[in-house]
Amino acid sequence: MREKIYYITTPIYYANAPLHIGHAYSTVAADTAKRWQALKGRETFMLTGMDEHGEKIYRSAEKSGVKPEEWVDRGAAAAKELWSFMNISYDGFVRTTDNFHKKAVEEVFKKLLAQGDIYSADYQGPYCVSCETFFTEQQVKDANGNCPDCGKKINEIKAESALFFRLSSYGEKLLNFYKANPDFLKPSELANKTIDTVTRGLKDLCVTREKVTWGISVPGDPSKTIYVWFDALVNYLSGAGFPHDMERFGKLWPADCHIVGKEIYYFHTVIFPALLMALDLPLPKKVYGHGWWTLKNDKMSKSTGNIVTPYEVCKHFEPDILRFFFLREMPFGADGAFSIDRIEERYAADLANPLGNLFKRTEVMLSKYFGGKTPSDGSFDAEIFKKQTEALQKFSSFMDELQFHSALNALWELVDAANRFIEEKKPWVLFKEKSPRLNDVMLTLEGCLEFITGILSPFMPVKCAEMASHIAAEIKLPEPGAFRKGQVIPGGEILFPALDIIRSGETQNSD
């Protein structure tokens, strides 16, 4: 039987302001996970997109003096441009204003309404327009009358004959699913909070809005608009082909992983699974909630204006360096402090020094000792073979669990080992002594460069393509102990120039 396509998603991003590095973080993580699975030979599909409905979008467009359609078109175009800039290789880009998505939302809504999972009742309670979220009176009280999430003024909403989804009836089913599928909720800190929330009891969810013109109307009742979160969550189905392309949907669903920020973890681990249960569809295999990047000791947020964009960060650094920093700096799931200083420190400590020097020294020695080729005879060092085997095993295990930070730790153990190998074997001494062991050393080092390039490529696809060109290698899943005899090594410009060169905007070649 053919293996299911690996299907991974990012959140769909709200089209009310420019995307910042927090959004790029989610998207780079999903892209890296996808590239890793593809490197292993699996067929993959990555979905991203834009959340384009809701009162906040309407207000933003009105404030800017344009129609909502023009406003969201601008946002979608800007997002695609940013993902291209960040070397993101997505396969589907869903917009909630797409006709196929609207039809999917309408079909889901009608089905749940017909089977009684959606019912009519009056509603009154606190609601944050900025977060598009209802809160309990106690939550608002605890936040001194403001929104518990963004801190903005909370509104009191009253609606007659609103429509509600019977979320409360799925609490026990959700708990049973969590217990039977321990890998569904990741990481454990967020998992425990979700389980505790569901255990304490769920309330039914109001899934309609009154007097909101920018959204999908309730089928048969244009006076009501479908709640933006209900609309948005369906994107994971519509983007996979439901219900317009059920053949593709059958190959993709259920999703292998939804990557989301921890602030929207509840929607993806409680509301969305309950909707899927009501639709009698399989649940995703994993929802992974990542942490926040803090800027100036505060959460990065469009609502507060405390943001920095990838374009600002990459004035001197290549986008692949930012990609590397995102996943190297902190464990995926934890919070981290963002600053240019930390990027520079990480760049110098990991890339310019150990990795860049390893490439440079190996290229120079091959040029000097063997005329720019690998030796025509020799064998691979047994100790480095062992270290490559261990590194690949650790790296593979961590990557499959989205433990990017730990995977890179395992790889850098090999980078450091290869640098120590040079110091221990002293190729320059072997060359003077005309020792045949020099062949083994240089074949082993070139094999390490090829190994590192292949395994690192999901993190830095463009930079690793440049690394591969230096050694005339193909980017592929590495094999421990592999080497190439008599291979021309072209070399090239310094891969990771010194920080002062980067700051000046100059280039540095290998002469």
Q: According to the 3-state scheme, what is the secondary structure of 322-360?
A: HHHHHHHHCCECECEECCHHHHHHHHHHHHHHHHHHHHH
Asked if the model's pLDDT at residue 507 lies above 70, the reply is: no
Q: pLDDT band at 297, cuts 50/70/90?
A: low
Cis ω for the linkage preceding 254 (within 30 of 0): yes
Could you report how far apart the first and last alpha carbons of the chain are, in Å?
54
Task: State the pLDDT at residue 299.
Answer: 67
Q: pLDDT band at 509, cuts 50/70/90?
A: very low
Q: pLDDT band at 298, cuts 50/70/90?
A: low
Residues 95, 101, 104: CA angle, nearest 5 degrees: 160
Cis ω for the linkage preceding 331 (within 30 of 0): no
pLDDT digit string, tens, across residues 202-253: 999 999 998 888 999 999 999 999 999 999 999 999 999 999 999 999 999 9
Instruction: Give the C-alpha separation, 338 to 261, whole Å.
Output: 16
Contact 120, 76 (CB under 8 A): no
* Average pLDDT for 261-271: 97
* Average pLDDT for 309-331: 95
Contact 38, 45 (CB under 8 A): no
- Please enumerate in sequence order all residues whose Cβ is within 8 A of that of 164, keeping only pairs 6 or more positions apart, or say none: 118, 119, 120, 121, 123, 204, 205, 206, 207
Task: State the pLDDT at residue 511.
Answer: 32
Asked if the model's pLDDT at residue 380 lies above 60, the reply is: yes
* Average pLDDT for 386-398: 98
Q: In the structure encoding, which two tokens stand for residue 225, read together?
A: 């608009």
Mean pLDDT, all residues of the chain: 93
Phi and psi, residue 505, nearest 5°: 80, 10
Q: pLDDT band at 506, cuts 50/70/90?
A: very low
Instruction: Give the C-alpha separation, 24 to 110, whole Å.
Output: 35
H runs (alpha helix) in 253-318: 265-266, 272-279, 310-313
Contact 234, 104 (CB under 8 A): yes
The domains found in the chain, sorted by start residue, are 6-313 (3.40.50.620), 340-504 (1.10.730.10)
- Please enumerate in sequence order all residues whose Cβ is within 8 A of that of 462, keeping only pairs 6 or more positions apart, or say none: 87, 318, 319, 320
Asked if the model's pLDDT at residue 70 lies above 60, the reply is: yes
Instruction: Give the C-alpha separation, 345 to 317, whole Å.
Output: 13
Least confident residue range of 128-137, 267-276, 279-288 = 128-137
Task: State the pLDDT at residue 2.
Answer: 67
Least confident residue range of 234-248, 252-266, 324-338, 491-505 = 491-505
Instruction: Give the C-alpha separation, 377 to 439, whole Å.
Output: 7
pLDDT digit string, tens, across residues 121-133: 987 778 776 676 7
